Amino acid sequence: MAQSLTVSLDAMGGDHGPEIVLAGAAAALERKPGLRFVLYGEEAAVSSILERHVALKSASRLIDCEITISMEDKPSQALRRGRWKSGMWRAIEAVKNGEADFCVSAGNTGALMAMSKFCLRTMAGIERPAMAALWPTLKGESIVLDVGANIGADAGQLIDFALMGSAMARALYDLDRPTVGLLNIGVEEVKGMEEVREAGQILRESKMPNLDYHGFVEGDDLGRGTVDVVVTEGFSGNIALKTAEGTARQIGEYLRAAMNRTLLARIGYFFAKSAFDHLREKMDPRKVNGAVFLGLNGIVIKSHGGTDAEGFAAAIEIGHDMAANDIIDKIENDLRYFGDIRSKDAAKD
């Protein structure tokens, strides 16, 4: 029997607004029939679209909100203008109040992070939340964090990211001890910034029961799937993410151009179509859409603003799996255990 969970949706968020949000919710409902939805947005804009999705309508409540946060709003502006009255704020607040198990928005990233931190607050022991993204690899998928929430990070914050990423991998991939690596300019222990080397030493010595510290990994290890979780700070993580997205589009354009170059190439494409379809599916960014805000007292998923219905449905399904597998409890337990280890080590010294 499907687990019954409630998701709060910022129905107006993203480049395409309620059209894509509701179509994505309807697709997610087909695959996760236990889901229930609370939709926050402008009733006039949402209600007519909701009428087209009969099953979704019966599984949803629509809450009218008078303010919509635009993609151009600065986080500070969004907080001043949108607190209490915007669909984005109220969708997050539903998680805080226990009215929803998780929140999904395709809206303004900066505004969503600012509102989430202000409304949900960070977990005890977490200085900064992180954005974690799924990353397609030769072995399947891995988790990379941080991909843009923080510029720079000290050793303690990198360790927090490692603990949170490990908990996410256990929740999504059913792993007992996910492998974790720190992104660096080389695998040798003497290389890299001091913060990265310090974090690596602490993780190696801590011997966490739910985390298998692999060591340093390099950029090419991201696609190889060398580890289950790759930890970095948000500047390099965001550049890596955007570079991978751009490279995937570039390869796709090269292939399309090559297949249409000559009649013989088009004939070859016809015979190899199933192989190209498989490649296209492997490279489909929609399947890994949805960055998770880790380190908050609640689950918030950020969908890509320009995604389609299938991509938005994937973001909802990530939130579902995180909530169903008690990601918040896993992170809290790991933070507590790590704190105990460090306290014992300090007492010995």
User: Do 145 and 268 have their domain in common?
Assistant: yes
pLDDT of residue 344: 66
CA distance 292 to 286: 15
| CATH number of domain containing 120 | 3.40.718.10
Domain count, the chain: 2
326-342 pLDDT, tens per residue?
A: 999 989 888 888 877 76
Question: What are the strands of the beta sheet with 300-302, ordered from one edge?
Answer: 60-64, 35-41, 5-10, 102-105, 300-302, 291-294, 130-137, 140-145, 229-231, 179-183, 212-217
The CA-atom distances, in angstroms, between 35 and each of 27, 142, 145, 254 are 11, 26, 27, 40
In this prediction, residue 279 has a pLDDT band, given cuts at 50, 70 and 90, of: low
User: Do 116 and 133 have their domain in common?
Assistant: no
Full domain range(s) for residue 203: 127-288
Give yes or no for residue 275 having a pLDDT over 50: yes
pLDDT of residue 282: 60
Q: Which of 58-67, 110-119, 234-243 has the lowest mean pLDDT?
A: 234-243
Average confidence (pLDDT) over 229-240: 92
Average confidence (pLDDT) over 218-222: 92
- Provide the percentage of residues in the chain whose pLDDT is more than 90: 57
Average confidence (pLDDT) over 232-246: 87
Average confidence (pLDDT) over 58-73: 92
User: Do 251 and 310 have their domain in common?
Assistant: no
CA distance 10 to 65: 10
Q: Which tops the pLDDT comparison, 276 or 340?
A: 340
140, 225 Cβ separation under 8 angstroms = yes
79-100 pLDDT, tens per residue?
A: 888 778 899 999 999 999 999 9
> In this structure, is residue 343 part of a structural domain?
no
pTM score of the predicted model: 0.88
101-143 pLDDT, tens per residue?
A: 999 999 999 999 999 999 999 998 888 899 999 988 888 889 9
CA distance 148 to 109: 10
User: Do 249 and 156 have their domain in common?
Assistant: yes
User: Do 219 and 308 have their domain in common?
Assistant: no
User: Do 207 and 301 have their domain in common?
Assistant: no
pLDDT of residue 3: 67
User: Do 240 and 300 have their domain in common?
Assistant: no
Query: How high is the mean pLDDT of the chain?
Result: 88
Give yes or no for residue 1 having a pLDDT over 50: no
What residues does 38 pair with on adjacent strands? 8, 61
Last residue of a domain, one of 288, 317, 342: 288
Alpha-helical segments (H) within the chain: 18-31, 43-50, 54-58, 75-82, 87-96, 109-120, 155-173, 194-206, 220-224, 234-259, 263-271, 273-282, 309-324, 327-348
